[in-house]
Amino acid sequence: MDYFREHILTIVAFWPLAGMIVLMLFNKENKTLIRWWANFVMIVGFVISIPLWVWFDRDNADQMQFVQNIPWIQTLGANYHVGIDGISLLLVMLTTLLGPLAVLSSWEAIHDRVKEYYFFMLMLQAGMLGVFISLDFFLFYVFWEVMLVPMYFIIGVWGGPRKLYAAIKFFLYTLFGSVLLLLGILALYFIYPSLAVQHPEVASRFGTGSTFDVLAFQAVASYLPFSYQYWIFLAFFVGFAIKVPMFPFHTWLPDAHVEAPTAGSVILAAVLLKMGTYGFLRFSLPILPDGTKYFVPFMIGLSIIAIIYGALVAMMQPDMKKLVAYSSVSHMGFVTLGMFALNPNGLNGSIIQQINHGISTGALFLIVGIIYERRHTREIAQLGGLSNVMPMYSVVFLIMTLSSIGLPLLNGFIGEFTIIMGALQQNLWFAVAAGSGIVLGAAYMLWLYQRTMLGKIENPANEKLIDMNLRELATLVPLIIVAFWIGLYPAPFFRVLDKPVNNLVLKVRPDYFQGAQRLNAEIREPR
Amino acid sequence: MSQFFQIQDIGAITPELELVAFGMFLLIFDLLIPDKRKLGLIALAGIAISSLFLFRLRNTDFAAYGGVLALDPFSIFFKFIFLIAAALSIAISLKYLDIERENHGEYYALILFATMGMMFMAGAVDLVTLYIGLETMAIATYVLVGFLRSNQRSNEASMKYFLLGAFSSGILLYGMSLLYGLSGSTRFVVIAEELSRRPLTDPISMVAMITLSAGMFFKVAAVPFHQWTPDAYEGAPTSITAFMSVAVKAASFAMMVRIFMVAIYPLRPQWVPIMAAVSVMTMTIGNIAAITQSNVKRMLAYSSISHAGYILIGFIAGNETGLTAVPLYLFIYTFTNLGAWAVVVALRRKDVIGEQIDDMAGLFFRHPSGAVLMLIFLLSLAGIPPTAGFIGKYYLFAAAIQTGHNTLAVIAVLNAAISIYFYFRIVVAMFMREATEKTGLVYAPGLTMTLAIATLFTLLIGVYPDPFIAMARQTVIHGF
């Protein structure tokens, strides 16, 4: 047990990989066995990640926990250094939760080349978990790139009619971003020793040798000259913004989402996009505080454009999946808006909203996938009145629609509300823009629901549709539970986040809390 | 000055002498042994014994023959690269030459002679020794390129390669003669001393530098002297293309390191801008031209051009990281590229040329292991972790950033990203298109061995590069 506890992160991240290697031994004709095995591996993967949530020390949520640090490439100073704080904890849990659901949803959807499909799904899962637990930049980069390949294949082999185009577009876009990210990492790597030498308090903790240690980079952040921060921020920005995706780098997303198979879209929306925002949180903000502050107006501007533009484009889509894809652009705009408000509310909301987006957009893609499997079309005009024949389906869809538009009692509300509070503390107009995004969001989602679910069935092809089966329900129930959990009782989540977020704010704005206290004092005792 | 010839100097060239002996024997055995594949095995044995001799010399560091031939970690590292490349190329040739119906003993002898020439190139610290090594390699390679006697493409390739190669050797020789005229010596160290005494803008040194660089750029196929590469690579027997793309290329870069980092090092401020321009053009044009190719051999030829462009970054950086990157990259490239070529060789079956991308269609369904291995090699060529190619590219980009060549680094990484587009055209064909024919591939034992070794190193260096980086770094700590 002790061994398990000390190595839990490694076990959680590499378990899918172990399952993948065993999977290779199976006969590819034995599809049922392969499906059972992949589901088994994913569910066990989730179960062994639960201790993370239980054992996580919430009083030290800003400290890295379950840390393992083993030399790896000593000539470069790269280590196998993993660990999680409150922020990565939530993302790891999101990943281990969504993985099994995505795999379960593919049971009937994937008929061809089943073995390779599950092979790539397991590889992808390991890559994503690796990204969220890495505390060494070199290791991070390896995981970050490794997961491109399985995702490329999942879109390119099992995707829709334009799959090849969408797959290579996804790959090229992300790769362009990540190679620039690599240059940013290298620049940090080479300047670190000279900074560490000058500052004994850093040198005593992390040494003065070349290192990729993220914590070491964070420790020298305040000594990093602005000219460096400026360029490294831009390099990181391209890398992460493409992944998020932020406007104007979002054009790969609708293609990839629409062409990918359902499980691919779910993973893409729920987890992959979070890698970009996580990159900002873990690297850009704490390592490049001055660069971050300098670019705040720019980042907020892009976020607001993404919120409104994404929503407007979503409204005009004739295809359900494309609509959900563009709604992702809009929602991720909220996430980055909250993040670059650079205050505790904004950041808390931003992270909660990342989880929410994973839950509700993941669920919406599953919902779209369910109807697509029955009707082989996603065109809104072809559907309509489905609540008459698929009552259970329509209820689940309604819950997730409401979650997505931020109705109180459901998860979306918590995230959006906190983000708007954060934005309001920064500037009234940011909050107004975000608020208009919510209104637009409600409009396109409810309109979608009305056009597909309500009214009479007019298309005869829809009359014989069967409601969700147990398996399909099983993919959605966990998401509904979490949606209500966050909506009704978000305290456990905020408890995990509070300390790391405050710590993050302090790193970017060292005087923030003093300023806030003074402000509060002034409000209480007006001079 | 030391005595010109000392008896222990013989010891310094035992690996080379041994290769020559085996080459000679092969020519004789050719008359006696009807099964030519046995000759290939003898050649492999020769390479193995030569490696053993070389291994015994691994810790030496001195200049033999009165200081014209260095036996230092740098040359030993490169000699191992040549021997590995030669061995793997011979291993993939055994069956391939049967299919081409051109299995002759002199093929293996020529490979050994070429390898011997390369080993002298890597060790040469003197213009004459260098040139003799270079020509020994080049003449053997011209013949090998045209080895498919009845094949027009092969003949044409050989002729083109020969003409342009001779031309570039001439230019190179012109530069060398100017350096000799300036310094009165053929030794690199003496030349460097003389050049450093002259003003940086001295016209004669300039002409010498420019002609020398042009000759070198021809040999490594850098733009704008790259035109021969696609034709020669396409026409040559595929096993020889593999050999050229790794061994000949590595030898030319070894020669370049000695010339640029020793002989004309004093002119560094002058040649860095030239090389930067050439590097950018080579990467970009190589990659862009590769995008439009429909023939795998031509595509890989253009890709090898772009790889030469990346390697030049190591020279431009010129510091320890950069000079470590050059041998390291070439070492990695040897395994990765030979692996990729081995798959192309495997596609050559009776009546099927197997060079078009279309011939790769559905390879995964016909022969999954071939497709998966090709995928690994292509990912490594593109520099995606956790393959060895990433470590090589990482080192080059790191060198550029470390020395402040930021624009160059950005252009290089963008090129690396573009390259995925054409490498993945092969992947698309292999994994996402229907098979056009049902016949599977038959792996000969030699080919299987090559693929196994190439895969092993491509993945091993990718996951645990430490010892290999240490070895490559060892080569530059002394000397440069």
Q: Which of A73, A146, A187 sits opposite B465 (nearest CB)?
A: A73
Cα B111 from Cα B92, distance rounded (Å): 13
**pLDDT greater than 60 at residue B3:** no
Residue at A350 is within a domain: yes
* Structure tokens given for B435: 């098979």
Helices H / strands E in chain A, number of each: 24, 2
Q: Average pLDDT in the B437-445 region?
A: 71
- Please, which pLDDT band fits residue A210 given cuts at 50, 70 and 90? confident
pLDDT of residue B340: 93
ipTM of the prediction greater than 0.85, yes or no = yes
Q: Which residue has the tokens 């939530």?
A: A90
Contact assignment for A186 to B413 by CB distance below 8 Å: no
Secondary structure of residue A447 in the 3-state scheme? helix
Cα A412 from Cα A486, distance rounded (Å): 8
Q: Structure pTM?
A: 0.93
CB B387 within 8 A of CB A156: no
More reliable by pLDDT, B10 or A328: A328
How far apart are the CA of A189 and the nearest CA of chain B, in angstroms?
A: 9
Using a pLDDT cut of 70, give the percent of chain B over it.
Answer: 96
pLDDT of residue B365: 86
Cα A479 from Cα A361, distance rounded (Å): 10
Residue in chain B lying closest to A231 (CA): B406
Nearest Cα to Cα of residue A268 among A358, A181, A343, A332 = A358
- Please, which pLDDT band fits residue A399 given cuts at 50, 70 and 90? very high
pLDDT of residue B436: 73
Contact assignment for B385 to A73 by CB distance below 8 Å: no
Establish if B28 touches chain A: CB-CB under 8 angstroms.
no
Cα A271 from Cα A362, distance rounded (Å): 9
pLDDT of residue B178: 93
Secondary structure of residue A136 in the 3-state scheme? strand
The model's pLDDT over B164-205, given as tens digits with 9 standing for 90+, comes to 999 999 999 999 999 999 999 999 999 999 999 988 888 999
φ, ψ of residue A209 to 5 degrees: the values are -75, 170
**pLDDT greater than 50 at residue B1:** no
Cα B404 from Cα B191, distance rounded (Å): 29
Alpha helix stretches (DSSP H) within B318-444: 320-347, 363-366, 368-382, 388-402, 406-432
**pLDDT greater than 70 at residue B440:** no
**pLDDT greater than 70 at residue B247:** yes
More reliable by pLDDT, A335 or B478: A335
More reliable by pLDDT, B306 or B437: B306
Establish if B291 touches chain A: CB-CB under 8 angstroms.
no
Q: Which amino acid is at B461?
A: I
Nearest Cα to Cα of residue B246 among B459, B130, B84 = B84
* Structure tokens given for A78: 């790269």
CB B13 within 8 A of CB B64: yes
C-beta neighbour count of A70 within 10 angstroms: 10
Bridge-based pairing of strands A78-84 and A65-73 is: antiparallel
Residue at A357 is within a domain: yes
CB A266 within 8 A of CB A106: no
Cα A369 from Cα A36, distance rounded (Å): 21
Contact assignment for A175 to B464 by CB distance below 8 Å: no
Contact assignment for B428 to A179 by CB distance below 8 Å: no
Residue at A24 is within a domain: no
The total number of structural domains in chain A stands at 1
* Contacts with B410 from chain A: Cβ below 8 Å: 180, 183
The model's pLDDT over A352-397, given as tens digits with 9 standing for 90+, comes to 999 999 999 999 999 999 988 888 888 888 888 888 888 898 999 9
Residue numbers of B between 427 and 456 with CB closer than 8 Å to A: 428, 431-432
* Contacts with A149 from chain B: Cβ below 8 Å: 379, 384
How far apart are the CA of A257 and the nearest CA of chain B, in angstroms?
A: 19
The model's pLDDT over B106-165, given as tens digits with 9 standing for 90+, comes to 899 999 999 999 999 999 999 999 999 999 999 999 999 998 888 888 999 999 999 999
The model's pLDDT over B342-392, given as tens digits with 9 standing for 90+, comes to 998 888 776 667 788 888 888 888 888 889 999 999 999 999 988 999 999
Residue numbers of B between 400 and 429 with CB closer than 8 Å to A: 401-402, 406, 409-410, 413-414, 416-418, 420-421, 424, 428
* Contacts with A168 from chain B: Cβ below 8 Å: 421, 424, 428
C-beta neighbour count of A315 within 10 angstroms: 17
Residue at A195 is within a domain: no
Full residue range of the structural domain in which residue A476 is found: 295-490
Give the H or E element holding residue A500: helix A491-508
* Contacts with A163 from chain B: Cβ below 8 Å: 432
Alpha helix stretches (DSSP H) within B33-151: 36-56, 73-100, 105-123, 127-145
Establish if B460 touches chain A: CB-CB under 8 angstroms.
no
How far apart are the CA of B457 and the nearest CA of chain A, in angstroms?
A: 16
CB A398 within 8 A of CB A406: no
Q: Average pLDDT in the B303-311 region?
A: 94
User: Rounded mean pLDDT of chain A?
Assistant: 89
Burial class (CB in 10 A: 0-12, 13-18, 19+), B319: middle
The model's pLDDT over A180-207, given as tens digits with 9 standing for 90+, comes to 999 999 999 999 988 888 888 888 888 8
The model's pLDDT over A488-501, given as tens digits with 9 standing for 90+, comes to 999 999 999 988 99
How far apart are the CA of B131 and the nearest CA of chain A, in angstroms?
A: 36
pLDDT of residue B480: 63
Cα A256 from Cα A272, distance rounded (Å): 12
**pLDDT greater than 70 at residue A517:** no
How far apart are the CA of A51 and the nearest CA of chain B, in angstroms?
A: 29
Q: Which of A75, A179, A231 sits opposite B466 (nearest CB)?
A: A75
Give the H or E element holding residue B63: strand B62-64
Residue at A111 is within a domain: no
* b/e sequence B194-204, b meaning 16+ C-beta within 10 Å: bbeeeeeebee
* Contacts with A164 from chain B: Cβ below 8 Å: 428, 432
User: Rounded mean pLDDT of chain B?
Assistant: 89
CB A327 within 8 A of CB A314: yes
Q: Which amino acid is at A506?
A: L
**pLDDT greater than 50 at residue B238:** yes
Contact assignment for B473 to A75 by CB distance below 8 Å: yes
How far apart are the CA of B59 and the nearest CA of chain A, in angstroms?
A: 21
C-beta neighbour count of B387 within 10 angstroms: 26
CB B165 within 8 A of CB B261: no
* b/e sequence A330-360, b meaning 16+ C-beta within 10 Å: bbbbbbbbbbbbbbbbbbbbbbbbbbbbbbb
B477 alpha carbon, distance to own chain's centre: 22
pLDDT of residue A527: 46
CB A333 within 8 A of CB A440: no
Residue at A462 is within a domain: yes
* Contacts with B325 from chain A: Cβ below 8 Å: none
Secondary structure of residue A295 in the 3-state scheme? helix
**pLDDT greater than 50 at residue A55:** yes
C-beta neighbour count of B386 within 10 angstroms: 19
Q: How many angstroms separate the most distant Cα atoms in chain B?
A: 69
Residue at A395 is within a domain: yes
Q: Which of B409, B420, B470 sits opposite A171 (nearest CB)?
A: B420
Q: Facing residues of A65 across strands? A: A84
Q: Average pLDDT in the B405-433 region?
A: 92
How far apart are the CA of A201 and the nearest CA of chain B, in angstroms?
A: 25
Establish if A432 touches chain B: CB-CB under 8 angstroms.
no
Residue in chain B lying closest to A170 (CA): B421
- Please, which pLDDT band fits residue A522 given cuts at 50, 70 and 90? low
What is the DSSP secondary-structure string of B302-322?
HHHHHHHHHHHHHHHH-SHHH
* Contacts with A153 from chain B: Cβ below 8 Å: 431
Establish if A164 touches chain B: CB-CB under 8 angstroms.
yes
**pLDDT greater than 80 at residue B397:** yes
Establish if A17 touches chain B: CB-CB under 8 angstroms.
no
The model's pLDDT over A145-155, given as tens digits with 9 standing for 90+, comes to 998 999 999 99
pLDDT of residue B438: 62
CB B56 within 8 A of CB B28: no
Nearest Cα to Cα of residue A332 among A382, A399, A404 = A404
